[in-house]
A and B are shown apart, each in its own frame.
Chain A
Amino acid sequence: MLATITCGAASLAIAACGGGSSGSSPGTPSGGGGGGGGGSAASGGSGKGPIVIGASISQTGDFSSDGNFVKQAYQLWADQVNAQGGLLGRKVEMKFVNDASSTQQVVTNYQTLISSDHANLVFGPFSSLLTIPSSEIASRYGYAFVEPAGGSQQVFTRGLHNVFEAEPQAGYKDMTVFGHWLLSLPAGQRPKTAAYVSEQDPFIGPEVEALKSVLQAGGVKTVYDQTYPIENPDYSPLALAISNTKADVAALGVNIPDGTAFTKDFIQQNYNPKAVIYANGPDQGTSWVNKVGQNNLNGMTAPIAWLPQLSTYGNKQMVAGYLKKYGGNAAGMSGDVAEAYSVGQVIQQAVEAAHSVSNAAIIKQLHSMSFKTVQGNFGFNKLGEPTGSLFLGQWVNHKWVRVYPPAAAQAKPIYPKPAWGQG
């Protein structure tokens, strides 16, 4: 029995580690192959029936919180397109499958969506972790792969020509805006030390590294720099170690669960950095505010591309539609919704420009056009990286606003951050 338990413990621990990344082939593709468009679906088909768009969604697992927002946004976009007469006059039909945040399952899902379900188009999953292996499948079948949140450098450096991240700036550069802001402060006010901690995630890790490069080049000394396994169930010891450094800046490569845990631990340890940035979290509306508490918000920063009150293309329509369909309030909407909705907007414009749902034609348009989205306007370079830029968001007087660069600022940034509980 002991052997069985031990074996179980080991295998579960390995399973909990996420199963590792997988670019391995899930099976032999049927027909087509290469980059030429595998079969009639990839070439758009000739039918007048609905345009079927497949998407793998993380309804369970580590990304389930974000996955839910992605699904909501994809469906909202499809509903609104259908309400306006469809895409090229054809109804849009979304087909969702759950990948459980698994790199293996997401590969299987896109294989099935493309080769068995014959989806005309596919939308990407959440995270670089899932985008990297699944985009290989889409590439093999010649499908355009516009995705909401795969911003790791690795997404764009594999020689694929079908992957496009629907954000104004490639995700791996997101946190650098925070560094540029700090270095823009008068010399006497600039922070002197910084602590960096990050999940072992192909998306978030490079973001923190890029920020560190900017700050180090600006003379900010690194006093702590660690990564931790994504499935770490206890962040208190790490927070204790960071607090012990008394660094002026805390840079956290986190998602909501670890971000809230670090915040609570910093509060408990009475550690008040002059500036703190989260890769994700403060921009996530009520799902963040309810966990960290209203009076700890002011001064928290995160990179942002979108706000509910922006007058960007289709933003008003998206926000109104989202609140009508799913409830809540505008301030509580997640940035994931805008990112995923932008995927639909980008594809819609590419399809309309191509006058076709042929994936080859769509990919050609994606490489050559500029797109209008709820997150602003941007195009893609030859690697599929978006060519726009991000802003720094900060909680100021209990409102989530843009504070940098100055030309786009809605409020003056807070520096230094007020002590926990006093903002």
Chain B
Amino acid sequence: MNLSLLFGALVLGLLTGGVYGVMASGLSLTFGVMRIINVGHAALVITGAFISYEVFRHLHLDPFAGLVITMPLMFVIGVVLEVLFIRPLKTDREELSVLVTWALALALEGVLGYFFGTDLVQTTVSYGNSTFVVGGVHIAYVYIYGFLLAVAAMAALAALLYRTNLGAAIRATMLNRQAAQLIGIDVERVSAISFGIGAALAGVGGTVYGIVNAFNPDSHYDLIGHLLVIVVLGGVGSMRGAFLAALLIICIQDITQVMISPDWADLSFFVVLTIMLVVRPQGFFGVRVREAT
């Protein structure tokens, strides 16, 4: 066994997994708060990548610094989308949300294609190819920055959820939407804000995604399946679970890709998912609940 290669795959998996973790935690948040399945979340990631790319190109602002523009803008986009398209869903939210958010993904893809074209672009930063060596493996600084950003975003999210009144309202809504409403929480406002936060986190993930990958408006197709699997593995509604599941599953995928075959890498994703559904269907940090009927 080539230990250097194994170590390299493990490091890459952890660093890339962190970025997927941020993307997936935004998705998990909207699952938890709103009881909707946002299959348009990856399209929001790509929207964030485009905004970051444009900020970098026109304002010459480093994409990480450009998050001061990308994140608020993504938050606003998220809130507007929630108010216009998700809020009107009053019945059968779970099932209908799949259709509505998929339509949103296609619409976002169309809008991005109209404004930016279908050619592939990439946020090419000056330090994109700079590396340092650990254990014989070259590690790009940009992956380290992406991972640190992901950890910072998760810490900020945890602080928001556990240290603020808004966070308490969000957690209450996640636990029981009807009960939260009964104690005076404006769940519609909480939902809009949560969707906005989810979109902002997608913007964070999109920023890093755009630095390490060439992308165009339909790059979201490659992402959404992975993100949904990560959310289920982590436990629906658990941001911590989504983050840790992303680290685990991307590591497994990368190691499989390097040590066995790329053909088996995607399958490993679903093997882990299947085992989890059999052994612990609520995911790592999910809670089995019996809802009122």
Chain A contacts to B: CB under 8 angstroms? 1-2, 4-6, 8-10, 12-13, 15-16, 59-62, 64-65, 67-68, 101, 200, 226-229, 231-234, 236-238, 240-241, 244, 256-257, 260-261, 264, 267-270, 287, 290-291, 293, 420-421
Q: Among A234, A291, A420, which residue has the most Cβ atoms of chain B within 10 A?
A: A234
Taking the closest CB of chain B, its distance from the CB of A156, in whole angstroms, is 27
Given A8-B39, A64-B216, A236-B12: A267 and B129 within 8 A (CB)?
Answer: yes
Taking the closest CB of chain A, its distance from the CB of B33, in whole angstroms, is 13
Given A68-B119, A268-B129: A15 and B221 within 8 A (CB)?
Answer: yes
CA of A270 to CA of B109, assembled, Å? 36
- Number of residue pairs across A and B with beta carbons under 8 Å? 166
Q: Is the CB of B122 within 8 A of A260?
A: yes
The 4 closest A-B pairs by CB, nearest first: A9-B228, A13-B225, A228-B262, A64-B118
Provide the residues of chain A in CB contact with B255, threshold 8 Å: 237
Select B4's contact among A60, A101, A234, A244, beta carbons within 8 Å. A244
B261 sits at the interface (CB 8 A)? yes
B247 sits at the interface (CB 8 A)? no
Provide the residues of chain B in CB contact with A270, threshold 8 Å: 131, 138
Which of B79-87, B182-190, B229-237 contacts the other chain? B229-237
Q: Is the CB of A4 within 8 A of B35?
A: no
Q: Is the CB of A233 within 8 A of B213?
A: yes
Select A5's contact among B37, B138, B215, B221, beta carbons within 8 Å. B37
Given A12-B39, A291-B120: A240 and B98 within 8 A (CB)?
Answer: no
Which B residues, 101 to 153, have Cβ-Cβ distances below 8 Å to chain A?
109-110, 113, 117-120, 122, 124, 128-129, 131, 137-138, 140
Q: Is the CB of B214 within 8 A of A6?
A: no
CA of A65 to CA of B219, assembled, Å? 12
Taking the closest CB of chain B, its distance from the CB of A268, in whole angstroms, is 5
Residue of B whose beta carbon sits closest to that of A9: B228
Taking the closest CB of chain B, its distance from the CB of A177, in whole angstroms, is 26
Provide the residues of chain A in CB contact with B122, threshold 8 Å: 260, 291
Q: Is the CB of A16 within 8 A of B282?
A: no
Chain B contacts to A: CB under 8 angstroms? 2, 4-5, 8-9, 12-13, 16, 31, 35, 37, 39, 94-95, 98, 109-110, 113, 117-120, 122, 124, 128-129, 131, 137-138, 140, 212-218, 221-226, 228-229, 231-232, 236, 250, 253-255, 257-258, 261-263, 265-266, 269-270, 273, 277, 281-282, 286
Q: Is the CB of B118 within 8 A of A13?
A: no
Q: Is the CB of B225 within 8 A of A257?
A: no
Q: Is the CB of A5 within 8 A of B218?
A: no
Q: Is the CB of A4 within 8 A of B281?
A: no
Dominant secondary structure at the B interface = helix
Taking the closest CB of chain B, its distance from the CB of A222, in whole angstroms, is 15
Provide the residues of chain A in CB contact with B124, threshold 8 Å: 290-291, 293
Taking the closest CB of chain A, its distance from the CB of B29, in whole angstroms, is 14
Given A1-B35, A256-B214: A16 and B224 within 8 A (CB)?
Answer: yes
Provide the residues of chain B in CB contact with A264, threshold 8 Å: 128-129, 212
Q: Is the CB of B120 within 8 A of A65?
A: yes
Residue of A whose beta carbon sits closest to that of B113: A60
Q: Is the CB of A241 within 8 A of B5?
A: yes
Q: Is the CB of B118 within 8 A of A2?
A: no
Given A68-B117, A237-B257: A9 and B225 within 8 A (CB)?
Answer: yes
Taking the closest CB of chain A, its distance from the CB of B270, in whole angstroms, is 7
Q: Is the CB of A59 within 8 A of B221?
A: no
Q: Is the CB of A65 within 8 A of B221?
A: no
Residue of B whose beta carbon sits closest to that of A200: B263
Given A8-B37, A268-B131: A237 and B232 within 8 A (CB)?
Answer: no
Provide the residues of chain A in CB contact with B231, threshold 8 Å: 5
Provide the residues of chain A in CB contact with B109, threshold 8 Å: 60
Select A233's contact among B4, B13, B39, B226, beta carbons within 8 Å. B226
Q: Is the CB of A227 within 8 A of B222?
A: no
New A-B pairs, 18, CB < 8 Å, besides A2-B236, A240-B5:
A2-B232, A2-B286, A8-B98, A9-B228, A16-B224, A60-B218, A64-B218, A67-B118, A227-B263, A233-B226, A234-B213, A237-B13, A237-B254, A240-B9, A244-B8, A261-B214, A291-B120, A421-B129
